[in-house]
């Protein structure tokens, strides 16, 4: 296996790393404090052609691969995790379902604005009683002949306040006594569609997390995404790609915490020596470096398999599970190395820990990932 990035990937890495350092990182702490969505950052990313990175050029994208998407997500998350998760959800949850299952007309109408940055991508799956368990879906789309009437709600939906449309899952009927779950594209300006964004969160404060409320929302049948009743299969495939995004985000956060720990350990003096000169600190830093490198390699492997058109569900879950676990561990160690200063917001590592916690939850908890991995191994 060749671990070298291609020439295009290397150029992208250098460009996005520089952008993350110079444009994204400087305002990250202030955006976290004020809970300000980084709209100006994304306007610049749109101008750079990054907002539609992995999608076909035919629909305004850049035609890049999944590894490139992982690179961008990691670098943005290293500078500001709120920006990273916004981008990851925009692509992997908002754009991918339309790219995979939409008709040409739907792609022209709904994917193009995502690629150009005119609209953010958002995907409405999670409900109060249903997330990874699609069987708990309660939102209904009643068939009225030439249109659906949607009633229900979704929770913890990323980017919806800045999206012009959201692809959601809803019950469209019964199939042999079981819920028939379909995916439907719903314009956010539809009558009866309310978006609330008043969550008080532990971290990722500059990202947009919303509740969607549908009260007799009328949507034409042409907005059905893919085949009726295939919503369950569609969201499973969507979440596989989403896990790569969350894993890349976790690696980025871990890298940021690691970088801070290295810099602090070189500057901080104890007993006449820098912390970096103590073997105990060196052991901590070595463990952190190993975990980050292994997590990044797993993200790239899952991405590569996806790009080759090969099965990657197990690898995506492994990447997401491991990267999220080590992100928490690395951030915790970074705080320990900083000592009392690690508890102070000015030194930023406490923010990394708060932000990293979401990676253990988003796109399915660690327990969900273990189930996915185990079922793949056991071929259940």
11-63 residue pLDDT tens:
999 999 999 999 999 999 999 999 999 999 999 999 999 999 999 999 999 99
What was the pLDDT predicted at 244?
Answer: 97
Residue count of the chain: 380
**Stretch 8-12: mean pLDDT:** 97
DSSP 1-52: ---SPPHHHHHHHHHHHHHIIIIIGGGHHHHHHHT---HHHHHHHHHTT-TT
Q: 118: helix, coil or strand? A: coil
Q: What is the pLDDT of residue 354?
A: 98
| Lookup result for tokens 């980084």 | 38
Strand partners, 182: 170
Going by the DSSP 8-state scheme, the letter that residue 312 receives in this structure is -
Residue 380: predicted pLDDT:
76
Residue 225: pLDDT over 80: yes
Cα torsion through 169, 173, 175, 177, rounded to 10: 110
Lookup: tokens for 180: 């028939």
Q: Give ∠ CA 300-306-310 in degrees, rounded to 5.
A: 120
Instruction: Tell me if 205 sits within 8 A of 82, measured CB to CB.
Output: yes
Contact assessment for residue 87 and residue 45, using Cβ atoms and an 8 Å cutoff: yes
Each residue of 199-222: b (16+ CB within 10 Å) or e?
Answer: eeeebbbbbbbbbbbbeebebeee
Q: In the prediction, which pLDDT does 303 show? A: 97
The yes-or-no verdict on residue 132 having pLDDT over 80 is no
What is the rounded CA–CA span in Å between residue 3 and residue 266?
A: 31
- Total Cβ atoms within 10 A of residue 282: 13
Rounded (5°) CA angle 20-23-24: 55
Residue 136: which pLDDT band, with cuts at 50, 70 and 90?
confident
Nearest 5°: the CA angle 33, 213, 237 is: 85
d(CA 79, CA 41): 12
Catalytic residue list contains 211: no
Q: Hey, what CATH topology would domain 123-229 get?
A: Butyryl-CoA Dehydrogenase, subunit A; domain 2 (2.40.110)
- The yes-or-no verdict on residue 307 having pLDDT over 80 is yes
Domain ranges for the chain: 7-116, 123-229, 233-378
CATH class assigned to 7-116: mainly alpha
Q: Which CATH number fits domain 233-378: 1.20.140.10, 2.40.50.100, 3.90.320.10, 1.10.150.120?
A: 1.20.140.10
Q: Which of 73-77, 212-216, 263-267, 376-380 has the lowest mean pLDDT?
A: 376-380
The pTM assigned to this predicted structure is 0.94
What CA–CA distance (Å, rounded) separates 239 from 152? 22
* Cα–Cα distance, 175 to 181 (Å, whole number): 9
Q: Are 7-116 and 123-229 the same fold in CATH?
A: no
Which of 74, 211, 360, 363 is catalytic? The answer is 363
**Choice between 33 and 136, residue whose per-residue pLDDT is larger:** 33
Of 240, 122, 130, 126, the closest CA to residue 179 belongs to 130
Q: How many beta carbons lie within 10 A of that of residue 143, not counting itself?
A: 13
Of 211, 240, 201, 195, the closest CA to residue 81 belongs to 201
């Amino acid at each position: 296996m060749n671990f070298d990035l291609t020439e295009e990937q290397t150029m992208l890495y250098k460009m996005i790393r520089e952008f993350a350092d110079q444009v994204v990182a400087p305002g990250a702490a202030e955006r976290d404090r004020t809970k300000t969505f980084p709209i100006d950052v994304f306007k610049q990313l749109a101008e750079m052609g990054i907002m539609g990175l992995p999608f076909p050029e035919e629909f305004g994208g850049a035609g890049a691969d999944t590894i490139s998407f992982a690179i961008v997500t990691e670098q943005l998350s290293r500078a500001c995790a709120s920006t990273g998760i916004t981008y990851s959800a925009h692509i992997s949850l908002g754009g991918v379902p339309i790219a995979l299952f939409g008709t040409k007309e739907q792609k022209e109408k709904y994917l193009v604005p995502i690629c150009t940055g005119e609209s953010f991508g958002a995907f409405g799956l999670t409900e109060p009683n249903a997330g990874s368990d699609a069987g708990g879906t309660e939102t209904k789309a009643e068939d009225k002949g030439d249109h659906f009437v949607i009633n229900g709600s979704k929770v913890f939906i990323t980017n919806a306040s800045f999206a012009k449309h959201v692809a959601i899952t809803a019950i469209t009927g019964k199939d042999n006594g079981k819920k028939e779950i379909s995916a439907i594209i719903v314009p956010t300006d539809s009558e009866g569609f309310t978006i609330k964004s008043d969550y008080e969160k532990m971290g990722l404060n500059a990202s947009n997390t919303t509740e969607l409320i549908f009260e007799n929302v009328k949507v034409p049948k042409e907005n059905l995404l893919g085949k009726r009743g295939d919503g369950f299969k569609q969201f499973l495939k969507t979440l596989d790609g989403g896990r790569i995004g969350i894993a890349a985000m976790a690696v980025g956060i871990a890298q940021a915490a690691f970088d801070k720990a290295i810099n602090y350990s070189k500057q901080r003096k104890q007993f006449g020596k820098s912390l970096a000169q103590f073997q105990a600190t060196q052991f901590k830093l070595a463990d952190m470096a190993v975990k980050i490198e292994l997590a990044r390699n797993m993200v790239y492997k899952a991405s590569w398999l996806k790009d080759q058109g090969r099965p990657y569900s197990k690898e995506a879950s492994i990447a997401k599970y491991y990267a999220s676990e080590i992100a928490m561990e690395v951030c915790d160690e970074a705080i320990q190395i900083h000592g009392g200063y690690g508890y102070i917001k000015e030194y930023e590592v406490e923010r990394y820990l708060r932000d990293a916690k979401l990676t253990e939850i988003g796109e399915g908890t660690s327990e969900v990932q273990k189930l996915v991995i185990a079922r793949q191994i056991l071929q259940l």
